[in-house]
Structure 1
Amino acid sequence: MSWNWKTAYRSFYYATAPEPEDLTLDPAATAVLVIDIQNTYVTEPEEPAEAERWRPFLERMRETVIPRTVALTERARRRGIEVLFARIACLTEDGRDRSLSQKKPGFNNLLLPKAGHPSQMVPALTPKGDEIVVLKTTDSALTGTNLRLILHNLGIRTVIVAGIFTDQCVSSTVRSLADESFEVIVVEDCCAAATQALHDHELAVLNMIYAHVVRLSDLDVLL
């Protein structure tokens, strides 16, 4: 079955809902937000079994997410659309300013001082000129930063979201944006979760209520 963003990623709640209207974008009121595509997340684990476990994610990042997010940002810049970045980074070297979720043991136990190489955006997505970057120690890019105020001051009404992880920081940010009454568009092939199953499940949860889930090709007529 061919891809159709108007019918894809339908959860139980929206299985019978009518198709949404065609997307429209006002470049002056639109921003692209790239979330957490940082060096630490594209570095292959040293332990062989762990490297193999993460191989599908790293391949998706290398072959799909990063190049398509680069294309998204370049097209946005040509249209005069604001491009912003959010990255996980603590202000202190020992991470004492991190939120509780980033101090707990396990995958989310992140110590990423703001000046360190691991916390920087990947080279292909280095911000250009005076593009805005917010630092966060929370999943949501709104909760732990002044991004809400920045978007308001820029006159933004629609936010196009790319980044990782779909089921964590992307999801939290999308929900926060929706709760603040921004129109949100999630570009599916500019996002990734640790597994495809987690990615697909979270997009079905988000779609239609918190955001419209599209692919980059669906924005061809708009960007």
Structure 2
Amino acid sequence: MISATPFDYPYDGNLNASSTALVVIDLQEDFLSTTGYFARQGYDPAPLRQILPVVGNLIEACRRVGIRIVHTRQGYRADMADMTPYEKWRRKQSGLEGTNVLLRDSPGFEIVPDIDVRSEDIVVDKTCNGAFTYTDFEHVLRAQGITHLMFSGCTTDVCVHATLREACDRNFQCLTISDACASGDQYAHEAALHMVTIEYGVWGALTDSAAVLRALAKLPNKAG
């Protein structure tokens, strides 16, 4: 089991690599670069970049024991046919009208090179904050027999938490890894992590990467 709060994960004591996935949320250039969407909103992407080595270590450890890696990417179609009037209005208010920021044909849509994305990984593209909305994410997880999800990525308070909440409501067993998530707003980051601990697991459990790595080191090595 993985030492966590408010209970050790998973709750039933059965940490099974074949039914577990590490979800890596939106570690894209648009959020982590100094010229992308996040920076244009006035946020400092530095806290987001600080988690990259942590996420890299988790990915490596998960691959070694046979845990699947799922990456998500947020962005709209190049023709913006999937963008609602409200989203277009927000885009204009943010000074992004006429740019290719957050569009799938732009360099900013790509996952940063610091993250090792391999052909065997699952990549889910989304337009909404939550990865389950209007995507095949749930179908893919069910098809792979995945019932347990460990969360990392950005931002803690928006896309990570939105996907976490959707996952819990779909009865996936969820673990948020505190130092593998980040936000441009420290208060929002801490509040989002705190919310995981309330009501004895309403949003799963909370831990850090050291606890995950310790537990994974005890599982059989499946890397060939």
- Select the residue among 69, 76, 95 that pairs with 1:83: 69
Query: Which shifted more, 70-79 or 21-30?
Result: 21-30
User: 1:153 Cα shift?
Assistant: 0.6
% same residue: 25
Q: After TM superposition, give the deviation of residue 213 of structure 1 in Å.
A: 1.2
Q: Shift of residue 112 of structure 1? A: 2.4
Among 199, 205, 209, the alignment partner of 2:202 is 209
Measured in 2, the distance between the counterparts of 1:99 and 1:139 equals 14
The answer to whether residue 10 in structure 2 is matched with residue 20 in structure 1 is no
Partner of 1:103: 88
Could you say which residue in structure 1 is the equivalent of 2:48? 61
Which residue of the partner structure matches residue 139 of structure 2? 149
Q: CA deviation at 1:217?
A: 0.5
- Work out whether 1:94 is the aligned partner of 2:79: yes
* TM-score where L is the length of structure 2: 0.80
TM-score in terms of structure 1 length: 0.81
1:222 matches 2:207: no
Q: Which has the higher contact order (CA 8 A, sep 6+)?
A: 2
Structure 1 position 211, deviation (Å) = 1.9
Q: Is the 8 A contact 1:99 1:137 kept in 2?
A: no
After superposition, the C-alpha distances for 1:49-79 in whole angstroms (9 at most, x for unaligned) are x78x634xx332233x111011111111111
Alignment of 1:64-213 (within 5 A): 65-91=51-77, 93-99=78-84, 102-105=87-90, 106=93, 111-207=101-197, 208-213=201-206
CA distance in 2, matches of 1:161, 1:108: 31
Letter in 1 for 2:185: T
Aligned pair partner of 1:41 in 28, 31, 52: 31
Q: Distance in 1 between matches of 2:133 and 2:156?
A: 17
Question: Does the 8 A contact of 1:162 with 1:187 survive in 2?
Answer: yes
Q: Give structure 1 stretches of 5+ with no counterpart.
A: 7-18
Cα separation, 2, equivalents of 1:86 and 1:156: 16
The verdict on how the C-alpha distance between 1:141 and 1:174 changes in structure 2, with shifts beyond 3 A counting, is same
- Given that 1:102 and 1:137 are in contact with CA atoms closer than 8 Å, whether structure 2 keeps it comes out as no
1:196 Cα deviation after fit:
1.2
Q: 1:107 to 1:165 in 2, by over 3 A?
A: farther
